[in-house]
Amino acid sequence: MGQKGREISKLDHKWLIEELSKAYAFEWVVHYYASLAANIVSGLRTPVYADIFKKASEGELGHANRIAKRIAELGGEPPQTMADIEKFAGFGKVSFPNERSDIKGFIKVFLKMEQHAISLYNDLAQKTHGKDLVTHELAEDLLSEEVAEEEEYENMLRE
Ligand SMILES: [Fe+2]
Ligand SMILES: [Fe+2]
């Protein structure tokens, strides 16, 4: 992003890059676990859910990439190591169901992740409101996607 582009962001860029790094790292965590779930889920409905988790994994990686682009525009760089990814994500331990055919067990994990993402983007959207329109729009956009994803998982739990 050029000089003018940076100037119009009225927030402390160091703080903003830090917040975006947390979101970037969290998206990578979700991306990783959704990919893992796609690979280990088993049972009769494996093809359906492997596909759902694979698509979710790709979607979250897409989110991470959009955030990385914004971090770069602000003159920063995303976290560089996998250890930093875990640290910035700050999500804690993820435990998949012991039974690989326990679809609902998997879905509950991802539902929790969507809820975490919703809090994250809701917070970012509020803090950037009227101060950094580009980051604000990104946060709103990602927020609406996470809200839709939460609902999809909730519906799957009702099946
Ligand atoms: Fe996401
Ligand atoms: Fe999501």
Mean pLDDT value across the chain: 95
- The bound ligand whose nearest atom lies closest to the alpha carbon of 111 is 2
> Do residues 79 and 25 touch, judged by C-beta distance below 8 A?
yes
Angle, nearest 10°, between helix axes 133-158 and 103-128? Answer: 160
3-class DSSP state for residue 15? helix
pLDDT in tens, 17-28: 999 999 999 999
Amino acid at 112: K
103-115 average pLDDT score: 97
Rounded to two decimals, the pTM is: 0.94
Which protein residues have their CB within 5 A of the ion that is ligand 2? 114, 146, 149
Range 10-158: architecture per CATH: Up-down Bundle (1.20)
- The bound ligand whose nearest atom lies closest to the alpha carbon of 147 is 2
pLDDT in tens, 53-64: 999 999 999 999
Distances in Å between the alpha carbon of 99 and those of 43, 74, 113?
Answer: 10, 44, 20
- The bound ligand whose nearest atom lies closest to the alpha carbon of 149 is 2
Q: In percent, how much of the chain has pLDDT > 70?
A: 99
Interval between CA 101 and ligand 1 midpoint (Å):
25
pLDDT tops 90 at residue 3: no
CA distance 98 to 101: 9
90-108 average pLDDT score: 95
Please report, for the chain, the start and end positions of each structural domain, with discontinuous segments joined by +.
10-158
